[in-house]
Amino acid sequence: MYSNGTAQARPRKVTAPDLFGRKVRAGAAPIAMVTAYDFTMARLIDEAGVDAVLVGDSLGMVVQGLSNTLTVTLDEICYHGRAVARGLERAHLIGDMPFMSYQVSPTQAVESAGKMLKEGAFESVKLEGGLEVCEHVQRIVRAGIPVMGHVGLTPQSVHAFGGFKVQGRGEEAADRVVEGALALEAAGAYAIVLEAIPPDVAARVTAELGIPTIGIGAGRACDGQVLVSTDLLGLARGHQPKFAKRFAELGDAAVSALQAYVAEVQSGAFPGPEHAYKANGPTDADGAPKDLPPQALRH
């Protein structure tokens, strides 16, 4: 081991086994998880102390502007995974298995999950479904890849559900959610996302499982929460789900900043002398100009 004397201590990475142990009833702090799709956002999320970051197939809607997640590919998930991974020092990185990258067979599931770790820099994978994907989960876990489950409103089944609809309403539907979650735990999942189900059903699942539940639109009884980062930051425009609390209005802030930029470009106020290179300005040993602010030196 060598040191150049300047390296800063990096925070310890949150691992799948760490998250596996985060059961609130055992005294653990609830898990805070968010989605991310690029390096810049990943760095901010990591700095904020988020435990786990999901490169969700929601990128089809959030990044690509599509109406559902179905066309997202394994290569696209891996591309965004590599970018997000470069921004994370502490948070655990989870990759969402896209539609039709695992449903065909347990073998296909293992191959896709393996590709996500090799080409996407992911540390674990998430897939949607209950009983019907348990064999797939078992095989992926046996290959040494931690798996997060996802039951309730599973967006890849949007056409089967007839839209993005709350699941687990009524006794029979609630039992199906609980059975699916228990089967995923038995198959080796280390945690399970519960999406858009009534809070009492989420509470029942959370009480019956030994692994943590991470809710999105599933109430406060879960062992953690996950939100889409653009929703929670108020960057999203148009319709938003009821559960997506906006913790800031960064979309409005961005529009104001862009309007100010347009106005200064049009008036000639920008760029000012402080944003221009001097003819014979100082440079550092590598020849980079010293008379520009650090953010300008990145380009």
Closer to ligand KIV by Cβ: residue 138 or 229 = 229
Residue 155 · residue 135 · CB < 8 Å: no
Q: Which residue is nearest to ligand KIV (CB)?
A: 56
Minimum distance of ligand KIV from residue 260's CB (angstroms): 32
Minimum distance of ligand KIV from residue 258's CB (angstroms): 26
Minimum distance of ligand KIV from residue 54's CB (angstroms): 6
- State whether residue 31 is helix, strand or coil: strand
Residue 24 · residue 191 · CB < 8 Å: no
Closer to ligand KIV by Cβ: residue 35 or 124 = 35
Closer to ligand KIV by Cβ: residue 44 or 276 = 44
Closer to ligand KIV by Cβ: residue 35 or 138 = 35
195 is catalytic: yes
Looking up tokens 């799709």, which residue turns up? 37
Minimum distance of ligand KIV from residue 12's CB (angstroms): 25
**Chain residues that interact with ligand KIV, rule: CB under 6 A:** 35, 54, 56-58, 96, 193, 216, 226, 228
Residue 230, burial from CB neighbour count under 10 angstroms (0-12, 13-18, 19+): buried
Closer to ligand KIV by Cβ: residue 166 or 292 = 166
Instruction: Provide CB contacts within 8 A for 50, sequence distance 6+.
Output: 32, 33, 34, 91
Closer to ligand KIV by Cβ: residue 35 or 101 = 35
Minimum distance of ligand KIV from residue 108's CB (angstroms): 20
Looking up tokens 């991974």, which residue turns up? 85
Q: DSSP letters of 205-225?
A: HHHH-SS-EEEESS-TTSSEE
CA distance 199 to 240: 19
Q: Which of 149, 34, 138, 44 is nearest to 93 (CA)?
A: 34
Residue 137, burial from CB neighbour count under 10 angstroms (0-12, 13-18, 19+): buried
* Catalytic residue chosen out of the listed positions 132, 172, 195, 264: 195
Minimum distance of ligand KIV from residue 57's CB (angstroms): 5
Buried-state track 249-274, b at ≥16 Cβ within 10 A, e below 16: ebeeeeeeeeeeeeeeeeeeeeeeee
- β partners of residue 149: 192
Positions marked catalytic: 195
